[in-house]
Amino acid sequence: MDFGRRTALYVEEHVSEVGSLTAWQVAPQVWASKTHGRMQVAHAEAWMKVGNRMVATGLPFSGFHDWLEMESYDSETRKLLTDWSLAHRAQMIEVHLAVRSRLVRMGVTVANLALGNLMQTHEGLDTMAKAYGETMARLRREGSLGRSR
């Protein structure tokens, strides 16, 4: 499942010696990302560039983030992601994260408390893909996609 990557409206990538991140806007109200290795501030900044495009639409939005291959992130990066999410919480409908690393899962759990349990974690892509499919189907029914996926 590529979560709309092949037909993305906008893409940001950052690759370093310790990790990589690709984030993309699937539709006016949906975005996604995929990470590998250790997330650093520069990776989070690329993620937020796409997030800021979502915020700029003024529309409520959903996120689907494949962080299964993310091994860790430092406290500065974790704080940056959490602060950005808190600042834009009112526009977020749902946030799904596929997470494997215990360290990443622990950070997500703490951030989720601050966000009022907005985020749903998945241990694999099957359940997240199901949620993505349901969101895209709902947006199609509502005529909110802008273009078909």
Domains of the chain, by residue range, sit at 5-140
| CATH topology for the 5-140 domain | Transcription Regulator spoIIAA (3.30.750)
Residue with token string 């997030």: 51
Q: Which amino acid is at 14?
A: H
Among 97, 96, 90, residue whose Cα is nearest residue 134: 96
pTM of the predicted structure, to 2 decimals? 0.94
Rg, C-alpha atoms of the chain: 14
Which pLDDT value is given to residue 146? Answer: 62
Tokens at 83, concatenated: 């602060």
Helix (H, G, I), strand (E, B) or coil at 99: strand
Residue with token string 């951030």: 111
> Residue 110 contacts by C-beta under 8 Å, 6 or more apart in sequence?
none
Phi, psi dihedral angles at 122 (to 5 degrees): -130, 140
Instruction: State percent of the chain over pLDDT 70.
Output: 97
Cα–Cα distance measured from residue 58 to residue 143, given in angstroms and rounded to the nearest whole number: 17
pLDDT digits (tens, 9 = 90+) for 10-26: 999 999 999 999 999 99
Q: Which amino acid is at 53?
A: R
Within 10 Å of residue 126's Cβ, how many Cβ atoms?
Answer: 10
Kindly indicate the confidence band of residue 143, based on its pLDDT and cuts at 50, 70 and 90. Answer: confident
